[in-house]
Structures are given as structure tokens and as C-alpha cells.
Amino acid sequence: MAVYFDNAATTIPSEGAVAAFNKGLLLYGNPSSPHSAGAEARRALEAARKSLALQVGCKSEELYFTASGTEANNSAVYGLWELRKRYGKRVLLTDSEHPSVKEPCRRLEKDGAELVYVPTPGGKLDMDFIKEALKTPTALICVMLANNETGAVYDIKAVRDAITKSGSRALFHCDAVQGFMKAEGYKQLLRNADTAAFSAHKIHGVRGIGALMLRSNLHPPAFILGGGQEKGIRSGTENLAGAMAFAAAAEEYGKAQTEKVKALREHIENRLRALPDVDLNLPEKHLSGILSISLRGIKSETALNCLSAEGIYISASSACSSGQAENSVLAAYGLDKSARESALRIGISPMNTVEEADALIDALVRARARYGRI
């Protein structure tokens, strides 16, 4: 039986999400069609939107369904840039942003953007750097809610306060893909953002569905053009089954789930602390579900292959960054080369058990005994 601890990459769909998805598949009408089958599908879509907006903490009319968190991030970056580039060419983003934010920002350089990377040593925003940078006219600032590799939770409110105090006209986008439903006080934190991105498969929904929160006072140009669905913000026939599964997964992910993850995280940490040459890369404020460690003495790839052979699955880094020669996020965090080369990411979900956690730790011990030091 597989032991799956790669939940920061993707999660197993919950029973509720699968049931909602299957129900949505039977609603075969196009939500944009005027007949009764279409109207039935539209009602189900809007019910899912309303439910999810409640979990996000925004108005239902401020939530737009997308095909992924990546699409939502791209849409926000390009859209907000178009709205504010006349006021300043500077774009601030953390040095540890996800590629779905970092790469669109890099493309903006062709349109004259000046990218400024905010340091995040130890998983903390350099707020003095942000305050100084905002003295120059700025179009956009991008700060994720929680980092996908270290689990660091960033101070979103402090960013909003800095923007307000500076008098900047910069708009603020937050990649909330990892932090949604998991970061403590996430609803209150997200109120500080102008836009935010979400993804269903990080909280036991299904792949292929995400969402963009866009404040109602903002009207950016559409990123995907076509039939004008989602009030023209995101064209394309809506993924009704995916949206229903997303809403169902969010409804299920409550306090009981977060407490279970927290307790399991504590158990894993306690066992790891008893092992030699294991560094816990712990930001001061972090998600319980993401634990970054460095298993000094074994390269990440070797450890992963050893665990995979036993049916135990974790990762060395973000699945979206696995092809990179250098882990820029861990470098930004401040890990030395040895720690980066031996880094592993444990992604914990409410579906995991103490028995699975013990199997993981025991397998790490066997890998160390078998392969020795680098």
C-alpha cells in the first residue's frame, strides 16, 4: 500500500469532492445555454461559486472559476499590470514566488517592467525593503500567502499597510494556492489583497479547476478571450463538475482537518529531532502541512528513489520547479548548498495517519543506513 506525503504537490480527492464531481457530470447542459438543462447547470455553478466565495471571504460576484491556480496567477499578473502600468513601471515580487507568478512577471519586462525581488530570508518578508521600494512609483506587488516549498506564511497585512502608508497606487496580488483553508486567519489576511489565486487539488478537490478572486472595483482586461463566460473575465465553457467538487472540498476542510494535520506534523517533527544529521527548515510562521527538512548525508534524488522503491512518496521541491538545476526558493530562504542538495519536502494532509508517518521516518532511517554520506 502506498504511503503518500506529497500533498503540497497534489492531494487525493475527498469522497465529498468525488461525489460532487460525479453529480456535476450528470448535469450535461451548458451553463450558458438558455434552455432548462442549461439553467439547471447554471444554478449548480452559481451555488458552487457562492459556497466557495464564503470560504474565501469575498462576494460571490468577485470569484471567477479558472482551469488552474496557474491560470489565475497569470490572469492577475497581466491584468493588474495593464491597469496600473501608466502609474509606474516597477513590479515587486518575493524572491520565493511560485513560477506561475515569477514567469509572467518576467515576461512583463518586455513591456518595460522593472522587476524588484523582495528578500525572504528565513521565510520572512523584508518589510524595510518593501517600504523603501515603494518610494518609487510601482504598478504591482505580488506576495504569496504561503510558500509551497518551505510552508512559510507571509505577513500579507503588513504588505497592505506598507502600500497604504506609502500612498502608492500599486495593486496587490496574492498567490493563495497553498495557504487557502490552511493558513491561520487566511480569510482576514486575504482581505488585504486586490486579487488572489486558488486551486482545488491542493485541498482534496480535483485537478483542472482553480479560481481567481478579483475585487469588484477592478476591471482588468480579460486574459482568455472567447465566448465571454465568467462575465467576460475568463472565456471558455465552465468546468461545472470541477467547480462543484472544489466547493465540496472546501466545505469539508474545516477545523478538524487542520487540527489533525497539526498533530501529525508534531509527531513527525518529534521523531525527526531524534535522528542525527537531520535539519528542520522551520520558518517562524508556517503551515502545518508543509515540512521542509535536509537529510544531510544523502542527496535528495537518492533519498526519493529509495523511498519510492518502498512505495513512499514525498518530494525534493515544488513539482513546478523540479526541473531546475538550482532551488532558488531554498537559496532565498538561506540554506547552504549542502542543505539544498539534501532537502526534502513532506506534505501532510488530513488523510495521512500516524502509522504512515512512522513508515516514512523508518524509511528515511533505512535510506541513511544504506547510502551513507554524500
358 CB neighbour count, 10 Å cutoff:
14
CA gap 98, 103 in Å, rounded: 8
Beta strand ranges found along 282-330 (DSSP E): 290-295, 312-313
DSSP helix/strand/coil, 152: strand
Instruction: Return the closest-CA partner of residue 115 out of 88, 80, 75, 153.
Output: 88
Expressed in angstroms, the distance from the first to the final Cα of the chain is 30
Residue 270: which residues within 8 A CB-CB, separation 6 or more? none
Q: Is 105 a catalytic residue?
A: no
CA gap 21, 36 in Å, rounded: 20
For the chain, the farthest-separated pair of C-alpha atoms sits apart, in whole angstroms, at 67
DSSP helix/strand/coil, 43: helix
Quote the DSSP letter at residue 13.
P
DSSP helix/strand/coil, 255: helix
Name the catalytic one among 58, 142, 174, 320.
Answer: 320
Q: How does DSSP assign 62-112, residue by residue?
A: GEEEES-HHHHHHHHHHHHHHHHGGG--EEEEETT--HHHHHHHHHHGGGT
Instruction: Return the closest-CA partner of residue 106 out of 142, 145, 133, 135.
Output: 142
Instruction: Return the closest-CA partner of residue 343 out of 275, 274, 270, 279.
Output: 279
Active site residues: 320
